[in-house]
Structure 1
Amino acid sequence: MPDITSLDNHCDDMVGHNAILGHPLGVKPSGNALFARKNLRVTIGSFNLLPDELILILLEFLEGRSLLHIGQTCKAFYAFTRAEDLWKSLFIGSPPASFTWKGTWRSTYLNLPPLKTAILDCSTLYSDALHRPFYCAHISLGPYITNIPSRNEIARLPNLSPEEFQEKWFNTPFILTEPVKEWSAYKNWTVESLLSEYAETIFRAEAVDWPFKTYVEYMKNNSDESPLYLFDRAFVSKMGLKIGRPDEEPDATYWPPPCFGDDLFSVLGNDRPDRQWLIIGPERSGSSFHKDPNATSAWNAVVRGSKYWIMFPSSSKLPPPPGVYVSEDQSEVTSPLSIAEWLLGFHSEARRTPGCIEGICQEGEILHVPSGWWHLVVNIEPAIAITQNFIPRAHLSAALDFLGNKPDQVSGFRKDVHNPYERFVNNMREEHPDLLEQACEELKKKTEGKKRKWDEIIHGKTEQEGAGGSSEAGGFSFGFGDDGSDVEVP
């Protein structure tokens, strides 16, 4: 990493001046410019013709030294070049071999101690693009996680039997309050206890691979709008953990609750896709709206802390959650806002949307995410969790449909595992032929149902009416009835 700290030292004489309340440089939302007598933005010359968002995009093409030089030209550009996302991208694009986290991406990239970071008065600069990330990084989560309407509340149960899950709960989110409390992980894990044992262990946190001690430093001292989320798929081997029921594995750290039954992906053995992750993060960290991969279901167990969940069923009759945009084939999902921005802009609408359910999974509890459900999750406080994806018997047909008909969206398999759909079907035929036959029959019925719906739309009649049958509908008919079918029209 280049030694460019000297380029920032010309502002050392500003250090120690009173900090501006609110944004650290005093930047205000753009609406304040309407009644302002002075606006620092005029000092950027011809760039004043460009919107703030475009200026930030242009600055993304520069390396660190150039950003510092531009920041020296005027206070306005200094504020623009202090945008944390610029320095985060530089750091991730060219990570140093060793570093010490210093509270911000800019200070860490430049290796600047906090007292060497200049604080300039930019209180007459008005920019939503600069102010909003700071605001979103500090909003209270309280208004969004409280007063959940009773109709939206996620069901809470002490425990479930495999039979109850299979008969009633396989397609419904719920929270179990008891199983996790038997785990060794629940009894013994804290951030401090993990730090004492795994300080030097490298874990994946989104786009970086850091020793756990470095991530904990970041976790305890950052002001990111979207904090890095430690989300590691290889934690079991890295930490040398044992998994299994206590009667089978006395030293087990955790085990899936029996109610979730067999994970049918296990027929692939070592060729199965990624399935289990350790999740650690500070308050406000989390995942924006998504569905779990390969049409799998999942459980998410909170070992420490607590998490807020908001979820929506997936259906061809229902749009995606507010603020989420999906391509026609559903291969591309765009949620352009941070979690905080989504809460600010769409939470009220989402809470009123049919199908919305919400809940808080507390320490020692476990939440079920059914196959195909949209979900957003955010840590209410620093949290440790374990999650695992699985294919229950009730969703085997969905997994077969996904693997067979959406091969470009299949994920999590090693590169040397070719044609995972064929492997899965062959292994299921050997180990669970009856389940495979039943799932294939379900898929066949769905396919036939789609064809019937298509025929109704195009011809205004069903197959049973035949070519000579009479129908008063005629032409196109977009009425699908109220049969509850979730099939999609091809």
Structure 2
Amino acid sequence: MPDITSLDSETVKIDPNLQDQEDTPDTIPGHPLGVKPSGNALLAAENLRNAIGTFSILPDELILILLEFLDGPSLLRIGRTCKAFYAFTRAEELWKGLFSWSPPTSFTWRKTWRATYLNLPLSQIPNLDCSHLYSDALHRPFYCAHISLDPFACNIPARNQIARLPDLTPEEFHKEWTDRPFILTEPVKQWPAYQQWTTDSLLEKYGDTVFRAEAVDWPFKTYVDYMRNNSDERPLYLFDRAFVSKMGLKNGHINQEPETTYWTPPCFGEDFFSVLENDRPDRQWLIIGPERSGSSFHKDPNATSAWNAVVRGSKYWIMFPSSSKLPPPPGVYVSEDQSEVTSPLSIAEWLLTFHAEARRTAGCIEGICGEGEILHVPSGWWHLVVNLEPAIAITQNFIPRGHLSAALDFLYNKADQVSGFRKDVTDPYERFVARMQEIHPDLLEQAWEELNKKNEGKKRKWDEIVHGKTEDEGPEEAEGGGFSFGFGDDSDVEVP
């Protein structure tokens, strides 16, 4: 990291009226520099934006994009030219990007990305009075970082409530619940992890262990400092796939493994990706994060289902069913092949803008998964999840028999979107089919038959639209061509 602390101007003065103030939990504090939303400029007698010269013809969002191309010293220099540019160069996303691009070997978290990058105590960072600057691009992230999540997670309509059950047997799950989200209230409470894990207990034992938190790899003690002292609109989410080996954990039912930390509830025990053994894709993650952290709308990888167990804290979930007939959730835009998903920059922004519409949308279901509870996410379901308080969770992906055909379809037809496999695992589809043919040939054949029926139905509908349905078409004409999988022989795979 360059030594640029000396570049922070010593001539600017801290306005004592803009220091941190006591606020009630439901009150959003004022921007630390006094920046106001753009609408306030309509009646303003003074606007600091007039001082930025030719740059004033550019939208604020474009100015911030241009500033992303500057390094730290350059940001500090342009920030000294006027109060408006000082406010623009204080945008936390700029410094977060610099930090992620070139992380230091050692550092102390100092509550903000800018202070951490510059290695300055907050007391040495001036807050100029920029109360005559009006910018949604600067004010919105601060506002979103301080909104209360309670109004969005409460008063859930009865029709939207995620089902809550004490527990399920494997037979009940496969018969009635494979395609439905639900929350189980009892299984997790038997885990030693539920009885023993807290942030402090993990910190004591694993403080120096390095975990993955999105774009950074930090010792756990550093992440806890960040988790407890940040004002990010989109807080970093610790999401580590190698936590079992890093923490030296044992997992398996306590009857088979006395020193186990947690185990998969029996109703989720069937997982056909297990036939790949060590060649299977990533399947389990430790998830830790502060309030407001979470995952924006997505579907789980490789057409898998998942369970998500909350060990500490609570999470709000909002979900939409998998269907080719329904559009994606409000505010979510998907490319034609569904490989790219675009949505608002942060969960808070989506909640502010689209939550009310989503709650009225057909198929929407919502719920809070509390401490000691576990939620089921069926294959293909859209879901957004946000921590209502600091939370610790474990999640695992799996393929139950009810979604085996969906996984085969995904592995074959969306090979470019398959994820989580090691680089040396080539052609995951062929490997998976070969192992299923060896271990579960009957279930594999059933899954292929389901796919063929599904795609024959699509072909018939297409033929009816294009050619019209005839009364006397024979069985051969009715079946037509369509999608089919080979069964390990020399037959061709046909895709319509």
TM-score, normalised to structure 1's length? 0.94
Equivalent in the alignment of 1:6: 6
Work out the CA distance in 2 between the residues paired with 1:13 and 1:29: 24
Cα deviations across residues 14-72 of structure 1 (Å, max 9, x unaligned)? 26554386000000000000000000000001101111001001100000000000000
Contact 2:18–2:129 (8 Å) recurs in 1: no
**Aligned counterparts, 1:170-319, within 5 A:** 170-319=178-327
Q: Secondary structure at the match of 2:212?
A: strand
Distance (Å, rounded) in 2 between the aligned partners of 1:289 and 1:394 = 23
| Residue 335 of structure 2, aligned match among 327, 337, 341 | 327
Q: How does 1:395-474 map to 2 (within 5 A)?
A: 395-461=403-469, 465=473
Contact 1:11 1:118 in 2 (8 A): no
For 1:393, the aligned partner's letter is R
**Cα distance change of structure 1 residues 248 and 66 upon mapping to structure 2, 3 Å threshold:** same
Cα distance in 2 for residues equivalent to 1:432 and 1:131: 57
- Deviations along 1:305-324, one digit per CA (max 9) or x if unpaired, are 00000000021110000000
- RMSD over equivalenced CA pairs, Å: 1.5
SS of equivalent to 2:8: helix
More deviation, 431-440/456-465: 456-465
Letter in 2 for 1:84: E
Whole-Å separation in 2 of the counterparts to 1:376 and 1:223? 21
Note the C-alpha offset of 1:463: 8.3
Match of 1:169 in 2: 177
Q: 1:463 to 1:144 in 2, by over 3 A?
A: farther
CA contact (8 A) 1:297 1:390 kept: yes
Q: Match of 1:299, SS?
A: strand
* Letter matched to residue 39 of structure 1: N
Contact 1:232 1:279 in 2 (8 A): yes
2:10 partner SS? helix
Aligned to 2:23: none
Structure 1 runs of 4+ off > 6 angstroms? none
- 1:150 CA drift (Å): 0.1
How far residue 337 of structure 1 moved from its aligned partner, in angstroms, is 2.9
The answer as to 2:14 corresponding to 1:19 is no
- Write the distance in 2 (CA, Å) between the matches of 1:303 and 1:14: 43
C-alpha deviations, 1:100-136, integer Å up to 9, x for none?
Answer: 0000000000001111101100000000000000000
Q: Any idea what SS the aligned residue of 1:400 has? A: helix
CA distance in 2, matches of 1:438, 1:230: 39
How many aligned positions are there?
Answer: 470
Alignment partner of 1:389 is 2:393:
no
Question: Which amino acid is the alignment partner of residue 395 of structure 2?
Answer: T
Give the distance between the partners of 1:226 and 1:4, measured in 2 at CA: 26
The alignment status of 1:142 with 2:170, answered yes or no, reads: no
- 1:464 Cα deviation (Å)? 5.7
Question: Does the C-alpha gap of structure 1 residues 325 and 299 become closer, same or farther in structure 2, counting only changes over 3 Å?
Answer: same
Using the TM superposition, give the Cα deviation of residue 462 of structure 1 relative to its aligned residue in structure 2, in angstroms.
5.5
Quick check: 2:282–2:421 contact (8 Å CA) kept in 1?
A: yes
Task: Decide whether the 8 Å contact of 2:18 with 2:32 is kept in 1.
Answer: no
- Conserved 8 A contact 1:12-1:116: no
Of residues 10-19 and 110-119 in structure 1, the stretch that sits farther from structure 2 once superposed is 10-19
Listed one character per residue, the Cα deviations across residues 289-309 of structure 1 (whole Å, up to 9, x for unaligned) are 000000000000000000000
Distance 1:168 1:463 in 2: 37
1:325-376, Cα deviation, whole Å (9 max, x unpaired): 0111111111233100000000000000000000000000000000000000
Instruction: Indicate the larger mover: 443-452 or 288-297.
Output: 443-452
Residue identity opposite 1:264 in structure 2: F
Q: CA deviation at 1:202?
A: 0.4
What whole-Å deviation, never above 9, does each CA across 1:402-425 have from its counterpart, x for those lacking one?
001110000000000000000000
Q: Which runs of 5+ in 2 are unaligned?
A: 21-28, 478-494
Q: Which amino acid aligns with 1:106?
A: R
Change (3 A) 1:326 1:462: farther
- In the alignment, the residues of structure 1 paired with residue 302 and residue 279 of structure 2 have an alpha-carbon distance, to the nearest angstrom, of 14
Q: Secondary structure at the match of 2:379?
A: coil
In 2, the alpha carbon distance for the partners of 1:356 and 1:233 equals: 29
SS of match in other structure, 1:48:
helix
2:485 alignment partner in structure 1: none
Name the counterpart of 2:387. 379
Deviation at 1:13, TM superposition (A): 3.9
- Aligned-pair distance for 1:466? 6.2
Q: Which residue does the alignment assign to 2:488?
A: none
Q: Which residue of 2 aligns with 1:105?
A: 113
Instruction: Write the distance in 2 (CA, Å) between the matches of 1:233 and 1:276.
Output: 6
Q: State the distance in 2 between where 1:12 and 1:129 align.
A: 24
Tell me if structure 2 keeps the 8 A contact 1:305–1:382: yes
> How far did 1:465 drift?
3.8
In 1, Cα distance between equivalents of 2:166 and 2:278? 33
Q: Give SS of 2:274's match.
A: helix
Unaligned runs of 5+ in 1: 470-488
